[in-house]
Amino acid sequence: MPAGERQAVVLDREDAAQFPFAGARNNGGYVVARKDRDCRPLHRQLVNAKLGDYYTFRNDDRRDIRRENIVPTTLAEIARRRPTRSRTGYRGVSPEKNGYIARITHQRRKWTLERFATPEEAARCYDAFARWLGGERAPVNFPDALLDPRQYKSAYQRVTAALHRAAVA
C-alpha cells in the first residue's frame, strides 16, 4: 500500500481489505490513517489498542505494520531503547567546567550524584543508581555491567537519606 511519494507500507492482505480509510501517510515515521477529521496511527487500530497501551515493532520499521511485527511494550522499554540526546553520548551525564557530572531523576526528584574526570565514569555512576532505583529494566548506558551504588559513598548517603525522609513524611 503506498504511503506518500517515496515510501511504501507493509500490511497483511486481510487487513488491507478491511482498511476503511481513503488514504495513509507517514507522520513521525508512523503510518497514520485518515478519515474525515480523525487521524490515528494504523498499527494501534489493527491491534485495538486502548489508551495507555504501548506497542513497538519487532524489526524497528514503523512502516511494517503486519500484525506479527507489532508487539506490546512498556514505557520503561521505550525509554530504554530511545537514544540519548546528551552531548556526551551517555544517559544521565553532563559536561561541566572541570569534568563531567552524573545526575538522575527518580519519581520527579532530581539528584546530582557526583563529579568525574571522564564521561564513562559518570555514566557508570548513573547506571548504578538507575538500576538501584528503577530495577533491572531501567534505561542504562552499559547494560551488561552490574554496579553497586554503595561504591559512590557520598551520593549513596544523600539519596538514601532523601528517600528515607520521603518515606517517613
pLDDT tens, residue order, the chain (169 aa)? 444 445 566 777 777 666 655 455 555 667 776 665 666 777 777 777 888 888 888 887 877 888 888 888 887 777 777 777 788 999 999 999 999 999 999 888 899 999 999 999 999 999 999 999 988 878 889 988 889 999 999 999 999 999 888 888 7
Q: pLDDT value at position 102?
A: 95
As a three-state string, the secondary structure of the chain is CECCCCCECECCHHHHHHCCCCEEEEECCEEEEEECCEEEEHHHHHCCCCCCCEEEECCCCCCECCHHHEEEECHHHHHHHCCCCCCCCCCCEEEECCEEEEEEEECCEEEEEEEECCHHHHHHHHHHHHHHHHCCCCCCCCCCCCCCHHHCHHHHHHHHHHHHHHHHC
Q: pLDDT value at position 18?
A: 66
C-alpha angle 122-80-94 in degrees, rounded to nearest 5: 25
pLDDT in tens, 85-109: 788 999 999 999 999 999 999 888 8
Q: pLDDT value at position 81?
A: 73
Q: Residues spanned by CATH 3.30.730.10 within the chain?
A: 84-168
Q: pLDDT value at position 4?
A: 46
- Is the domain covering 84-168 a CATH 3.30.730.10 domain? yes
Query: If you search the block for the grid coordinates 477529521, which residue do you land on?
Result: 37
CB burial string 132-150: b at 16+ within 10 A, e below: bbbeeebbbbeeeeebebe
Instruction: Using alpha carbons, select from 124, 106, 114, 115 the residue that is nearest to residue 162.
Output: 106
pTM: 0.61
